[in-house]
Amino acid sequence: MGQSTDALLVYGFDLGDEWSEDGLENMLDEDIKAKIRQVEGFHDLEANISTYLQANGVEHGVEIVHHCSCDYSMKLLGIEVVTAYRGDVQHLDLPELAHRCFAENWAANVGLAANLLGIPEKAPGWMMVSMWC
């Protein structure tokens, strides 16, 4: 089995080191965890966050995005826009991405997701991160 380093272009914000060290189970408020567990088809807290967010009006795929490595992942809250897999070239239409970000109001969706998860909201922006597995 090989290893791969991928590049991820994400719009959102960094959750910080404490989210990586403590994990979602320890960082989310008990009331919020209870709401996520009520999602139809619940089987795992982290796996159901996206479904919980969508059910509460968050659009455009806002989710917890993992980066750094599979063994020690760090976390962002945002929209994974593009993944460039090792050895592949991804051509970006930057004006189109900027237009979609504005027209689809990604900032408001990331903010709503932060609010629903009880995460202190930060100003979202563009981030290029790596993921090594």
Task: Give the pLDDT of residue 2.
Answer: 62
Delimit the domains of the chain by residue range.
Answer: 5-132
State the SS3 of 53-66: HHHCCCCCCCEEEE
Token pair of 79 as six digits:
């929209």
Kindly give the interhelix angle for 94-103 and 106-117, rounded to the nearest 10 degrees: 60
Share of the chain above pLDDT 90, in %: 72
pLDDT exceeds 60 at position 38 = yes
Integer CA distances (angstroms), 2 to 85, 87, 89, 103, 106, in order:
13, 13, 19, 40, 35
Mean pLDDT lowest among 43-52, 55-64, 75-84: 43-52
Q: Are strands 125-132 and 63-69 parallel, antiparallel or unpaired?
A: parallel
Q: Rounded to an integer, what distance in angstroms lies between the CA atom of residue 50 and that of residue 62?
A: 7
